[in-house]
Amino acid sequence: MVNPLSAENDLPLFSQFKPEHIEPAIKELINANRKTIEQLLADNKIYTWENLVFPLENLTDTLQEKWGFVKHLNAVRDTPEWRKEHDRVMLKVTDFFVELRQHPELYQAMLSIQSSPEFAKLSMNQKKVIENYLRDFKLSGISLDKDKKEQFKALLEKLSENKNKFSQNVLDATDNWFLLITEESKLKGLPTHTLHKAKEEAEKKGQTGWRLTLDFPCYHAMISYADNRELRKEVYQAYTTLASDQSLEKNWDNGSLMVEQLKIKHAIAELLGYGSYAEYSLVKKMLKTPKEVMNFLNELIVPVKTKALQDVQLLEQFAAKKYGLDKIEPWDTRYLTEKLLEQQYNFSEEELRYYFPESHVINGLFEIANKLFKITIKEVKNFDAWHECVKLYEMFDEKQQLLGRFYMDLYARPHKRSGAWCGTCKNRIEKLDSSLQTPIAYIVANFRPRIAEEKEALLSHDEIITLFHEFGHCLHFISSKMIYPSISPDHGVSWDAIELPSQLMENWCWEEEALQLISKHIESSKPLPLDLISKLKSSKNFLIGLAMIRQLEFSVFDFELHLQSNIQNYLTIQKIIDKVRENTMVIPIPTFNRFQNTFSHIFAGSYAAGYYSYLWSEVLSADTYNFFKEKSQVFDQTVAQRYMHTILEPGGSKEFMDLYLEFRGRPPKVKALLQDWGL
C-alpha cells in the first residue's frame, strides 16, 4: 500500500495520515534528496541554473511540504502518538537542511554559477535565489572547519528540540489546568456563551458545575468580565504562571529550557563571529543593527508611556468611584477597561457579537478583498480535512485564474496550539516538468466556538481583527507571483516586514463601509447601525497607551535578552525583564508573574530578537494606510493595485526597503504610527 504521506495529491489527505506513516515517508524523501544532490554534483562539470539550482529548489520544497503537513497536524491536532513520531523525525529534517547549507561542493558549485558569464543572463529572480543560497550558506557556517560545523549542527538540533519541548509544555500546562465552580453566583458577569461552554465542558468530563479552562476564549472572558475579583485573580495567577516554577504543577516548568535555549542561540551567533544572537538575526532583517532597533523602540517609549500613565489615572479614578478600589491590580485592568468602555461608549464587545455571525463576516471580508484587489474567493465543499470545522476556499484573480487555496480552522479546542497564525501548506513553485503548482495556505485561530443554541459562531470585533490579520498574511502568500520558494513571502521577505500585509488588513475592520459589509444582526438581519459604528471607531484608540506599552515591554525584553552574551540561570532572565519594566511598567506586576515562560513567539516560534517586528511593521502599515487615506477613500483601487504590484506580488524577490520605496516613493515614517495611535 502506498504511504499516504508519500503520495502526490492535489490536496493532502489529512484524514489518512497515521503516526506510523511519518518516519518512512520523511526518511525516504531525505534519502532520495541526498542521492539526487550527489548526482547533480557528480554529473555536472559546468553548473547552471537548470542543472543545479532549479532541481535543488524543487527537491527541498518537496521535503518542506511533506514535513509541513506533519508539523501542521502537530499544531492543530496534537495526539501523544503523533507527537512522539513528530519529535523522533524532526531532527532528521533539521539535519538534512543543516547538511545542505554546509555542503562544501554545493557551495562551490553555487559560487561557480555566480561567477560564470551565464549569471548575467539569468532573470533578477533567479539571481536573487542564488544570492539567498549563498547568504544562507554563510549563516549556516559554510566557512567553519569540520569540527565547528559539527558543533553548529549539534546546536541547531538542540535548538529545534528545545523549541518543540517549550511549546509542548505550554500546551500541556494549558490543557491540564481547570477550575470547577459549583456556585453560579461566583460566575456573575461572564457572557452566557462562556457559561454554556463551561457547563458543556464539565458535562463532558462527568462533572457538575462549570469547568473553566485557560484556552484563550475562556481566559479572555474571565479576565474581562468576571465580577468576582478573587476569581479574576485566580485565573490571572494561573495564566501568568503557566509552565513555570510558580505554578502548582511543576511538570512543565520551561525555566531551564529557556536558559539552555538562550545559551544555544548565543553559541550559534558566536560560532559565526557575531557578538550576539540579536546581531546574527538582523542579517536578514530590514533594520540592520541593534542600535537601529533600540533607537526605534526608544523613540516610541516616551510618548507611549506618557499616554499609558494617563490611561492608568483614568482607570484609577473610575475604579475608585465605581468600585471603591484604592488600587488597581493587573487582574483588574481588562475588566475595568471593558466597564469603562461600556460607560463611555455605551456598547460592549459581547453585544457586538450578535452582529457578526461567522458566515457573514467571512463573506464580507471576501467582498472587501474583491473591492480592493479584484480577487474572488469561493468555498470548496467535500474535501479531506483534519477536523470537521475546517473550511477550504479558492482564490481567483480578476481574469478568473486560480491564484491559490486556503484552509480556515478558526475555533479553539483541546490539543490545538493557542494563538492564531497563517501557515504554508504548499508553495507556489515551478515543478521540474515546468508545470506550475499553485499555493495553499492554512489560516488557524482560536476563536470562541459555536455553542449548542447558536446556528453558527458569533465573532467578537477582536476576533474579526485577528481574522483580517491572518487573511492579510494569506493574501501576501497567495498573490505573490514568485515561483521559487526561496523568494516566496515566507522565505524571502525580511522578518520585520512580514507583518505589513497582515496589519494593513486590520485597518478595514474600523471603516464604516467595511463594517457594514461584514455585519448582520442575527435577529434583525440589519447591519451595524451608524451610531454603533461611530462609537466603535471612536473607541479604537481607547486606552491605547496601556496596550502599546505592553507591546513595547515584550519587544524590548526580547531584544535585550538576545543581546546578552551571559545568561547564567533563570534569575538572569528575570533580572532582564525587571530592568525593562523600570521603563515600561505603569501598574505594578506581581512577583509571581512568569509571562516569559509562555512567550512562545520568541522561544518556540521565529520571533527571537524580532518581536519588535510587530511594531516596525505597524509603522509600515500605518504609513501604507495613510496612502489610502490621502486618496481620500479607503477603498481606493489605484493604491490597492499599486500595493498589490509593488509589495505583494514581488514577494521576497528584492530587499524589502526597495519594494517599499517603489510603492511609497520614500522611506516609511515612524510618525505615521504615533499619529495612528492618536499620540
Q: What residue ranges bind Zn ion (CB under 5 A)?
A: 499, 502
Measured distance CA(303)–CA(538) in Å, rounded = 20
At its nearest, how many Å lie between Zn ion and the CB of residue 444? Answer: 12
Give me 531's grid cell: 451610531
Q: How far is the CB of 668 from Zn ion (least distance, A)?
A: 18
CB nearer Zn ion, residue 236 or residue 477: 477
C-beta of 388: minimal distance to Zn ion in Å? 26
| Smallest gap from residue 601 Cβ to Zn ion (A) | 10
Grid look-up 538576545 returns 562
Q: How far is the CB of 80 from Zn ion (least distance, A)?
A: 30
CB of 620 to Zn ion, least distance (A): 13
Nearer to Zn ion, 498 or 580 (CB): 498
Is 470 annotated in the active site?
yes
Nearest of 180, 170, 187 to residue 239 by alpha carbon? 170
- Four-point Cα dihedral 662, 664, 669, 672, nearest 10: -150
Burial class of residue 144, CB neighbours in 10 A (0-12, 13-18, 19+): middle
Q: Closest CB to Zn ion among 253 and 490?
A: 490
Q: Which is nearer to Zn ion, 499 or 553 (CB)?
A: 499
User: Least distance (Å) from Zn ion to the CB of residue 499?
Assistant: 5
Minimum distance of Zn ion from residue 405's CB (angstroms): 20
Grid cell digits, residue 64: 518542506
Query: Taking a C-beta distance cutoff of 8 angstroms, is the pair 304, 552 a contact?
Result: yes
> Taking the CB of residue 239, how many other CB atoms lie within 10 A of it?
21
Q: 349 vs 499, which CB is nearer to Zn ion?
A: 499
Q: Write the CB contacts of 496 (distance below 8 Å, at least 6 apart in sequence).
A: 285, 286, 287, 610, 612, 613, 616, 617
CA atoms within 13 A on the CB side of 512: 9
Q: Give the dihedral of Cα atoms 339, 341, 343, 344; nearest 10 deg.
A: 160
| Burial (Cβ within 10 Å: 0-12, 13-18, ≥19) of residue 495 | buried
Pair 314, 343: CB distance under 8 Å: no
Q: Which three cell numbers stand for residue 353?
A: 457579537
Residue number with CB closer to Zn ion (172 or 499): 499
Closest residue to Zn ion, judged by C-beta, is 502
Nearer to Zn ion, 56 or 422 (CB): 422
Residue closer to Zn ion (CB basis): 490 or 499: 499
DSSP 51: I
Q: In what order do the strands lie in the sheet with 376-380?
A: 376-380, 391-396, 402-411, 440-447, 421-426
Residue whose CB is less far from Zn ion, 253 or 618? 618
Catalytic residue among 57, 65, 279, 470: 470
Please name which of 493, 551, 197, 524 lies closest in space to residue 354, comparing C-alpha atoms.
524
Q: What is the spatial distance between Cα 640 and Cα 624, in angstroms, rounded to a whole number? A: 10
Integer Cα distance of 591 and 588 in angstroms: 9
Q: Please state the closest distance from residue 614 (CB atom) to Zn ion, in A.
A: 8
Query: What are φ and ψ of residue 622, in 5° steps?
Result: -65, -40
User: CA–CA separation, 319 vs 587, rounded Å?
Assistant: 14
Relative to beta strand 421-426, strand 429-430 is unpaired
- Burial class of residue 142 in the structure, from the number of CB atoms within 10 Å of its CB (0-12 exposed, 13-18 middle, 19+ buried): buried
Q: Which of 68, 71, 60 is nearest to 32 (CA)?
A: 60
Report CA Rg, the chain.
Answer: 25
Which residues participate in catalysis according to the annotation?
470
